[in-house]
Chain A
């Protein structure tokens, strides 16, 4: 047992371990900040959709960066962002022209976009896109540049939340009234999807596409947050993040998967306790 602790501790003496720790903390902070709004605005599934929409863009970014020898990171980001917006646009187009329900259009687009990405990966052997890393993340491969990007997005999110708190609250509570009452609803309606996309993008490479949406949802669900800014949700998110990372290092699991598995058991535990308390 002591040996396991020693091993974990030795990770953090190395640079990749330190980057992993800071990266996990920042992803957790970002999720803790955004998750109450994501849950209260009923946008929990949007993170999942976005994470899949961006896949062909990521592949295209790799390809373009390699082909024209431009820096990898900006190419990936631009590709992913364009692909994310294209996906959202396609869903809207399908809903409006075919009058099908939103979730049906979303699933068709999600699978189609992801399929396109997988086909592209299978054909573009030279691009070296790691499908496994895209799905499950690879926090130990993060660089300081990734961490700085994560930090910037977390900072912008925190600033928007703290300086426009009354606008967020009015917008989440009753958007139409908020608009009429002069709250800055237009700003939030324009920036919230951008913020969500950025959060998904910067978290994608550390925790993976499958885990991003869970991370953006778990903290608020776990503390049953009903306010826009919830310190409990932020602290809890940080706690789960660190525990997940330690668990992953100790048992050699993918970090994102370790975090969301821990999250599910905590949510289930809470649900059981709440049900039990209701009975007695």
Chain B
């Protein structure tokens, strides 16, 4: 089990929940996607899963992670935010940014992993440059490396493809698929649409909104024999 949630309802106010209660779990490694239009609650669901927001009701649990805001020393999940979340006024080199993924426990082994990831994700040549001078593709790769450096089993990515051209999108998705196959981890991606890459996904949720103000229903694709299981009153499974 990587991630399990029960009767989860997300949103900002009890009077305006973003989804119907639903339960489910992700039990197998793979590349998963949460798809849907703007404003339907994809990011809110992800932020609730990783503990940056409290659920309106229900629970969610990440394997081996009892920390609400990850107070223990080793980060138990990886998070790749959109790169505009990195303060543009703060000058940080790519190497220092990736090191932040180690959290507060910086040891020789961790630093060696930083160097290895810089090489693996093809940003070693820019390791000494300020993060904000990089191209969009390089920035995304640096943020992925930062998320991977603590060797998490579960990685959440918030619209990593949003600012990339078709070529960079392909490179990134293929690299992520390769990563999943090699290390047997679980990667969850938020995006508006991933039609071009659906053959690489192991499963995806689709947020649907029939009327503008309706609560979203979450449809779930299991056509590829995916190991995600969900149940809920309004799910179209």
Contacts and interface: CB of A to CB of B under 8 A. Distances in A.
Query: On chain A, which size bracket covers the interface?
Result: 20 to 34
Interface stretch (A16-24, A109-117, A176-184): A176-184
Interface in A15-42: 39-40, 42
Contacts of A102: none
Contacts of A178: 100
Nearest to B106: A166
Contacts, number: 71
B28 to A, nearest CB: 23
B101 A181 contact: yes
B79 A173 contact: no
Contacts of B73: 182
B224 interface: no
Contacts of B101: 181
Given A167-B104, A173-B100, A176-B81, A182 B87 contact: no
B69 A166 contact: no
B70 A226 contact: no
Given A39-B89, A180-B70, A226-B89, A174 B81 contact: yes
Contacts of A174: 81, 85-87, 100
Contact of A181 (B51, B89, B100): B100
Interface in A152-178: 166-167, 169-170, 172-174, 176-178
A40 B96 CA distance: 17
A177 B103 contact: no
B104 A183 contact: yes
Nearest to A185: B69
A186 B57 CA distance: 24
Q: Which of A177, A178, A183, A185: most chain B Cβ within 10 A?
A: A177
B69 A226 contact: no
B75 interface: yes
A179 B52 contact: yes
A2 to B, nearest CB: 46
* Interface pairs A-B: 8 shortest CB-CB: A226-B91, A182-B103, A181-B103, A181-B75, A174-B86, A180-B79, A173-B90, A170-B100
Interface of A: 39-40, 42, 166-167, 169-170, 172-174, 176-186, 226-227
Given A174-B86, A177-B81, 7 more contacts: A179-B52, A179-B70, A180-B70, A180-B77, A181-B70, A181-B75, A181-B101
9 contacts: A169-B90, A169-B96, A172-B87, A174-B100, A177-B85, A180-B50, A180-B70, A180-B79, A183-B104
